[in-house]
């Protein structure tokens, strides 16, 4: 009796048990495309990649971003002009296809395209490193703080509050005094500030997740705390984290330009998109290309990042097919 | 009666999704007369809620409606949005399932009710206040003078549902749509709300469209019943007739879905597997840096003995501490009092000392949607415990164990590559059972494992649990507010209220001859057909 009812009731469960929401979402019905046979642990990443490939906007953004990175890294080697090389015959020349300066020159007669590409190297690397630093520290810190809870959480979050209340400029100047001027210092300083937000976001996520029954089930299975954090908590808070990362990158690029503008960041003749844009702004009326060129590079990058972030968030969620 | 109050004629609702069209309601026709109660019954996904939302014209944009909905001959699918707004609240109104979320937490309840009056009747000021007080009194809110300025969080679930009813009745509608109005409430409160609705119905002479999945409520409450399945009306007619002589197989199946039978008794001298003495659980409600903190005691000194092969049922309403007790037994929560598992005193065991025992005592939770991590495949979820307790197994052996346990719960092993969201509630609950079973436990804590499921699915899960218990001589602690299920499964029953045991004894004696007033009230409210 029991075994025959077993066969019958799976049928009943798959038929009547699906609720309205399932019906609305599950356009694919009960037979979604079978995932390729994958090893446990790898499957999420591989599945995510498969889903990301179907997202045309995200893929286009990914290609564009890769292209942007390649031309910023390799481009300067093929340019006829150097970063600091002044063309004494062309001060503030507008973009032209005939001459040697396709995207014009700046007020000091330096090739704008060359400088924008060099600036891209700085901006992109600052964005990458500082965001990674903030991501790793912030996610771990926030997850641990939220998961352990109690007094530890209190202490850890008060430390974050203290860091928040330190004036950012003060921190940077302090670092400058101690370590001297260095581009890695910018990475460190920005990373040291950006992870605070991330930690708060992840902690909030963790607090709401840790009351969920699947975490409790993991406890009941005897899963170690470290595993619960890395296997259950962090993957499930990835959605807001990715959104926040895509917001952090532009913030970091702008922060860097702010520092450079104050003379605390990159130094002439080295430049960054932020610096170029702020220079461009002051020449906006007479020579709009000085603003438009670096701003276009920055805008395209940020635009792509947003699309990519959106696509990633969807791709990493198994609920979206 | 010549023209019915509400007439639904061949109603179809299609949802146009990017992936294709989903038909939620496929040509449903029925009518409601003046002052009549019609129940719309069906399991989740049957289209009953979509039908009622279509009546209110509250469906999302992507829904395409065809057919006619006539209220007093006026076709609601054709009227303008502003006319519809006037009709809602005035001619018909609706109460929802979730009293927790359907009131705005930022406004006092008096104001929320008065808003309805203001919008539809143009009544305001002291006139509105008088009417609000009258309404609160009618829906049985004690001390309406004081309660009128309460915020929703200050009221209990039942009271909130009463406020919702007061809002719905403010303009004396002729039709009230009640969408699972009591599902989220405790059984005793459920009964009160239904009584209230019936009294108000007499008083205002309104018709009620009562949407529910619970057939026992229908029998008590509705004059006519319409049974829906997969968006179609499979049967309708007088309640008594449908219940006594169901024509359609599906109706018969639904009526038959009440859990039956009782558990074969276990020998009196079976070894004690788990026992607790004077178990207490405290939650800190307010922590002070200096001096004593404030506590709330959720479980107040409970003794409990579970013998091998037994099922101990714990029943109680929400807030009775039954789930807390269950978690304390597994040492998922800190507790005072002595706990023993077989011969081991586990009272003071910490996480690492509990770990070896974890494979032998497992748990299945209530919420089939919350108890599985959405980012892991079913195979990963089930094998997680194996990695902890049987690290010597290699991947292929683990895989074999996962397949075995999926077969055990009657799921296709090929499904281990999929993610939890692709499964229905009943299937997810099976996955949760498989996750526990794969470790070959002796003891299973079942915390309302069937409460979130449809009746027919519930049955199959209960059958599965019974079958597994027999096969592996499992020991269960079964926590539930559903007395019918507890009766069918348990050897002994504990009735809990406010953290204490009100009554305990064999299932037989508790259900046949309850001693305490509280137990009697519970049984009565649950509409169980027991010989008194």
Query: What is the tens place of the pLDDT at every residue in B55-102?
Result: 888 888 788 888 888 888 888 888 888 888 888 878 888 888 777 778
- pLDDT value of position B527: 62
Q: What pLDDT is recorded for position A92?
A: 64
What average pLDDT score do residues B358-362 get? 90
How far apart (Å, rounded) are the C-alpha atoms in residues B121 and B24?
35
Q: Which pLDDT score, from 0 to 100, does residue A280 have?
A: 82
Mean pLDDT of B19-45: 85
Min Cα distance A189 → chain B (Å) is 34
The predicted complex's ipTM stands at 0.78
Q: Show residues of chain A in contact with B43, CB under 8 Å.
A: 16-17
DSSP structural state of residue B415: G
User: Between helices B378-389 and B351-358, what is the axis angle to 10°?
Assistant: 110
Band (pLDDT 50/70/90 cuts) for residue B243 is: confident
Alpha helices in B350-454 (DSSP H): 351-358, 378-389, 395-408, 425-437
How many degrees, rounded to 5, is the angle at CA B361 between CA B439 and CA B428?
65
The share of chain B scoring above pLDDT 90, in percent, equals: 12
Instruction: Look at B22 and A2 and tell me if their CB atoms are within 8 Å.
Output: no
- What is the number of residues in chain A? 321
The least confident of B68-82, B257-271, B458-472 is B257-271
Average pLDDT, stretch B163-173?
Answer: 86
Average pLDDT, chain B: 85
- What integer pLDDT is reported at residue B194 of this predicted model? 86
Gap from A32 CA to chain B (nearest CA, Å): 8
Q: Report whether A197 contacts A137 (CB < 8 A).
A: no
Strand pairing report for B232-238 and B224-229: antiparallel
CA distances for B163 relative to A217, B108, B122, angstroms: 37, 11, 20
* Cα–Cα nearest to B9, from B74, B53, B93: B74
Q: Are B229 and B43 in contact (CB under 8 A)?
A: yes
Interface test with B, best of A213, A225, A231, A240 (most B CBs within 10 A): A213
Residues in chain A closer than 8 A to B389 (CB atoms): 221-222
**Test the A interface: residue of B25, B254, B381, B421 with most A CBs within 10 Å:** B421
- pLDDT at res. A43: 60
Burial class (CB in 10 A: 0-12, 13-18, 19+), B111: middle
Q: What's the pTM value of the predicted model, to 2 decimals?
A: 0.78
Of the partner residues B20, B385, B424, the one whose CB lies closest to the CB of residue A22: B424
pLDDT tens readout for residues A258-308? 787 777 777 777 888 888 888 888 887 877 887 888 888 888 888 888 888
Q: Is B37 exposed, middle or buried (0-12, 13-18, 19+ CB in 10 A)?
A: buried
Count of A–B CB contacts within 8 Å?
182
Long-range contacts of B340-343 (CB under 8 A, 24+ apart): B340/B272, B340/B274, B340/B275, B340/B276, B341/B273, B341/B274, B341/B443, B342/B271, B342/B272, B342/B273, B342/B274
**How many Cβ atoms sit within 10 Å of the Cβ of residue A90?**
18
A235 and B375 in contact by Cβ < 8 A?
A: yes
pLDDT of residue A202: 92
d(CA A44, CA B377): 8
What pLDDT does residue A34 have? 37
What token pair was written down for B281? Answer: 């659980």
pLDDT surpassing 80 at residue B411 = yes
Comparing B433 with B521, which gets the higher pLDDT? Answer: B433
Number of alpha carbons in the 13 Å side-chain half-sphere of residue B164: 29
- Chain A closest-CA separation from residue B344 CA (Å): 18
Closest CA–CA distance from residue A91 to any residue of chain B (Å) = 55
B433 touches chain A (CB under 8 A): no
Q: How far apart are CA B368 and CA B411, in angstroms?
A: 15
Q: Give the minimum alpha-carbon distance from B67 to chain A in angstroms, rounded to a whole number.
A: 21
Instruction: Show the tokens assigned to B262.
Output: 């009782």
CA distance B31 to B7: 4
Burial code of B204-229, b = ≥16 C-beta within 10 A, e = fewer? eebbbbbbbbbbebbbebbbbbbbbb
- Taking an 8 Å cut-off on Cβ atoms, the answer to whether B460 and A9 are in contact is yes
* pLDDT-based confidence at residue A225 (cuts at 50, 70, 90): confident
Q: CB count, 10 Å around CB of A109?
A: 17
Give me the phi and psi of A68, to 5 degrees please.
-60, -45
Lowest mean pLDDT among A95-104, A125-134, B231-240, B471-480: A95-104
DSSP B326: H
Query: Residues with Cβ < 8 Å from A123, sequence gap 6 or more?
Result: A253, A256, A257, A272, A273, A274, A298
pLDDT (0 to 100) of residue A254: 78
Kindly indicate the confidence band of residue A13, based on its pLDDT and cuts at 50, 70 and 90: very low
Is the CB of residue B370 less than 8 Å away from at least one CB of chain A?
A: yes
Q: What is the model's pLDDT at position B289?
A: 67
- Which residues fall within 8 angstroms of residue A266, CB to CB, at 6 or more apart? A122, A183, A186, A256, A260, A272, A275
Put simply, the answer to whether B383 touches A40 (Cβ < 8 Å) is: yes
The confidence band for B314, taking pLDDT boundaries of 50, 70 and 90, is: very high
* Cα–Cα distance for residue pair B300/B308, rounded to 1 Å: 25
pLDDT at A39 over 50: no
Q: What CA–CA distance (Å, rounded) separates A254 from A123? A: 9
Q: Which residue of B has its CA nearest to A320?
A: B421
- pLDDT tops 60 at residue B279: yes
Distance between CA B256 and CA B92 in Å, rounded? 34
Q: Which of residues 221-280 of B touch A (CB under 8 A)?
A: 229
Contact B18 A30 (CB under 8 A): no
Q: How far apart are CA B331 and CA B477, in angstroms?
A: 14
Q: How far is CA B481 from CA B213, B319, B455, B458, in A?
A: 17, 11, 14, 14
Which pLDDT does position B432 carry in this prediction? Answer: 92
Label residue B291 by pLDDT band (50, 70, 90).
low
The total of other beta-carbon atoms located within 10 Å of residue A11's CB is 11
More confidently predicted of A87 and B449: B449
Q: What is the 3-state secondary structure (H, E, C) of A40-105?
A: CCCHHHHHHHHHHHHCHHHHHHHHHHHHHHHHHHHHHHHCCCCCCCECCCCCCCCCCCCCCCCCCE
Give the mean pLDDT of A219-236. Answer: 87
B176 vs B206: CA distance, rounded Å: 7
Give the C-alpha separation, B500 to B520, whole Å: 17
Select from A16, A147, A234 the residue whose CB has the most chain B CBs within 10 Å, as the one to mutate to test that interface. A16
Supply the pLDDT for residue A159: 93
The nearest CA of chain A is from the CA of B292 a distance in Å of 17
Nearest beta carbon to residue B373 from set A14, A16, A236: A236
**Which of B18, B422, B454 lies at the smallest CB-CB distance from A17?**
B454
Contact B343, B381 (CB under 8 A): no
Least confident of A45-59, B28-42, B253-267: B253-267
Contact B459 A9 (CB under 8 A): yes
pLDDT tens-digit map of B420-433: 888 888 888 999 99
Q: What is the model's pLDDT at position A58?
A: 87
Nearest-by-CA chain A residue for B428? A13
Show residues of chain A in contact with B350, CB under 8 Å. Answer: none
- Determine whether the interchain pair B19/A27 forms a contact, defined as Cβ–Cβ distance below 8 Å: yes
Rounded distance between C-alpha atoms, residue A76 and residue A78, angstroms: 5
**Are residues A274 and A257 in contact, defined by beta-carbon separation less than 8 angstroms?**
yes
Q: How many helices (H) and strands (E) in chain B?
A: 19, 20
The CATH number of B6-256 is which of 3.40.630.10, 3.40.50.300, 3.10.180.10, 3.40.50.10800?
3.40.50.300
Identify the band that residue A21 occupies on the pLDDT scale cut at 50, 70 and 90.
very low
Q: What's phi and psi for B141, nearest 5 deg?
A: -85, 120
What spatial distance separates the first Cα and last Cα of chain B, rounded to whole Å?
Answer: 40
**Residue A105 dihedral angles phi and psi, to the nearest 5°:** -125, 165
Higher-pLDDT residue of B129, A182 = B129
Burial B303-336 (b: 16+ CB within 10 A, else e): ebebbbbbbbbbbbbebbbbbbbbbbbbbbbebe
CA distances (Å), origin A263, targets A85, A127, A171, A257, A270: 21, 19, 15, 10, 12
Chain B residues with CB inside 8 Å of A12's CB? 426, 456-457, 460
Question: What is the 8-class DSSP label of residue B117?
Answer: H
Going from the N-terminus, what domains does chain A have, and what CATH number goes with each?
A: 63-75+111-316 (1.10.3720.10)
pLDDT at A7 over 50: no
What's residue B146's pLDDT?
86
Q: Kindly give the pairing relationship between strand B207-212 and strand B175-179.
A: parallel
A201 CA: distance to closest CA in chain B (Å): 19
To test the contact with chain B by mutation, choose from A21, A45, A221, A234 the residue with the greatest count of B C-beta atoms within 10 A, namely A221
Minimal Cβ distance to A6: which of B377, B384, B464: B464
Residues on chain A touching B375 (C-beta within 8 angstroms): 44, 235-236, 238, 316-318
| Tokens representing residue A218 in the block | 């993991």
Nearest by CB: A9 against B367, B410, B412: B410
Strands of A227-274, DSSP E: none
Task: Work out the average pLDDT over B463-471.
Answer: 90
pLDDT at B528: 53
Q: Which of B45, B330, B457 sits opposite A23 (nearest CB)?
A: B45
Please give the structure tokens belonging to residue B160: 């909130």
What pLDDT is stored for residue B443 in this prediction? Answer: 92
Find residue B176's DSSP bridge partners: B93, B208
Q: Report d(CA B512, CA B97) in Å as an integer.
A: 32
- DSSP, collapsed to helix, strand or coil, labels residue B331 as coil
CA dihedral A304, A307, A309, A315 (to 10 degrees): -130
Q: Give the CA distances from residue B503 to residues A5, B196, B315, B514, in Å, rounded to whole numbers and listed in that order.
A: 35, 29, 10, 8
């Amino acid at each position: 009796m029991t075994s025959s009812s077993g066969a019958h009731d799976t049928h009943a469960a798959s038929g009547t048990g699906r609720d309205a929401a399932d019906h609305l979402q599950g356009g694919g019905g009960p037979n979604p495309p079978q995932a390729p046979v994958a090893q446990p642990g790898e499957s999420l990443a591989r599945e995510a990649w498969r889903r990301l490939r179907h997202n045309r906007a995200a893929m286009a953004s990914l290609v564009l971003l890769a292209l942007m990175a390649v031309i910023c890294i390799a481009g300067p080697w093929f340019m006829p002009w150097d970063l600091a090389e002044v063309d004494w015959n062309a001060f503030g020349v507008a973009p032209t296809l005939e001459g040697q300066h396709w995207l014009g020159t700046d007020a000091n007669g330096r090739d704008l395209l060359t400088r924008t590409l060099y600036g891209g190297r700085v901006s992109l690397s600052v964005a990458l490193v500082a965001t990674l630093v903030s991501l790793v520290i912030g996610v771990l810190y926030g997850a641990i703080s939220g998961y352990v809870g109690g007094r530890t959480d209190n202490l850890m979050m008060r430390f974050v509050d203290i860091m928040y209340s330190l004036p950012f400029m003060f921190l940077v100047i302090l670092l400058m005094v101690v370590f001297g001027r260095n581009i890695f210092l910018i990475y460190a300083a920005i990373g040291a500030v950006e992870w605070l937000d991330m930690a708060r976001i992840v902690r909030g996520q963790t607090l709401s997740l840790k009351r969920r029954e699947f975490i409790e089930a993991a406890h009941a299975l005897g899963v170690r705390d470290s595993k619960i954090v890395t296997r259950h908590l962090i993957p499930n808070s990835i959605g807001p984290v990715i959104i926040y990362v895509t917001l952090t990158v532009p913030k970091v690029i702008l922060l860097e330009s702010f520092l450079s503008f104050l003379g605390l960041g990159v130094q002439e003749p080295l430049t960054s998109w932020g610096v170029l844009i702020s220079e461009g702004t002051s020449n906006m009326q007479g020579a709009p290309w000085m603003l438009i060129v670096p701003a276009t590079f920055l805008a395209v990058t940020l635009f792509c990042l947003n699309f990519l972030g959106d696509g990633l968030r969807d791709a990493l969620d198994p609920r979206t097919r | 009666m010549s023209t019915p109050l509400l007439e639904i004629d061949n109603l179809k609702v299609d949802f146009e999704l990017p992936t294709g069209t989903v038909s939620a309601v496929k040509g449903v026709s029925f009518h409601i007369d003046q002052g009549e109660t019609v129940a719309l019954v069906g399991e989740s996904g049957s289209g009953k809620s979509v039908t009622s939302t279509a009546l209110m014209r509250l469906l999302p944009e992507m829904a395409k409606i065809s057919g006619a909905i006539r209220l007093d001959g006026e076709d609601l699918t054709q009227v303008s949005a502003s006319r519809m707004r006037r009709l809602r609240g005035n001619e018909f109104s609706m109460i929802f399932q979730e009293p927790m979320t359907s009131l705005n937490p930022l406004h006092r309840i008096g104001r929320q009710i008065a808003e309805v009056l203001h919008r539809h009747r143009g009544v305001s000021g002291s006139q509105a206040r008088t009417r609000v007080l009258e309404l609160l009194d009618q829906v049985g809110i004690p001390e309406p003078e004081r309660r009128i300025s309460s915020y929703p969080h200050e009221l209990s679930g039942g009271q909130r549902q009463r406020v919702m009813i007061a809002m719905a009745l403010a303009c004396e509608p002729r039709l009230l749509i009640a969408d699972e109005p009591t599902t989220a409430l405790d059984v005793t409160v459920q009964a009160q709300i239904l009584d209230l609705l019936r009294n108000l119905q007499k008083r205002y002479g309104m018709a009620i469209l009562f949407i529910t999945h619970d057939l026992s409520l229908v029998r008590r409450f509705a004059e006519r019943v319409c049974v829906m399945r997969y968006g179609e009306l499979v049967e309708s007619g007088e309640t008594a007739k449908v219940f006594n002589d169901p024509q359609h197989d599906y109706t018969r199946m639904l009526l038959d879905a009440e859990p039956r039978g009782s558990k074969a008794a276990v020998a009196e001298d079976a070894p004690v597997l788990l026992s607790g003495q004077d178990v207490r659980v405290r939650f800190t409600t307010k922590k002070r840096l200096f001096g004593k903190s404030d506590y709330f005691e959720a479980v107040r000194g409970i003794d409990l003995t579970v013998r091998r092969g037994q099922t101990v049922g714990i029943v109680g309403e929400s807030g009775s501490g039954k789930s807390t007790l269950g978690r304390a037994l597994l040492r998922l929560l800190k507790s005072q009092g002595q706990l023993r598992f077989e011969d081991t005193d586990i009272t003071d065991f910490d996480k690492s000392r509990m770990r070896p025992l974890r494979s032998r005592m497992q748990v299945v939770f209530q919420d089939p949607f919350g108890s599985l991590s959405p980012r892991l495949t079913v195979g990963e979820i089930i094998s997680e415990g194996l990695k902890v307790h049987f690290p010597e197994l290699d991947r292929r052996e683990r895989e074999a164990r996962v397949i075995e346990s999926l077969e055990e719960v009657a799921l296709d092993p090929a499904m281990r590559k999929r993610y939890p969201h692709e499964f229905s509630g009943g299937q997810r609950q099976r996955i949760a059972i498989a996750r526990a079973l794969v470790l070959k436990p002796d003891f299973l804590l079942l915390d309302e494992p069937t409460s979130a499921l449809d009746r027919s699915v519930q049955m199959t899960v209960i059958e599965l649990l019974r079958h597994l218990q027999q096969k592996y001589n499992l020991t269960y602690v079964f926590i539930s507010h559903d007395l019918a299920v507890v009766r069918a499964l348990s050897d002994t029953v504990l009735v809990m209220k406010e953290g204490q045991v009100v009554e305990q004894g064999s299932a037989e004696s508790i259900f046949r001859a309850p001693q305490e007033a509280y137990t009697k009230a519970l049984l009565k409210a649950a509409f169980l057909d027991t010989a008194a």
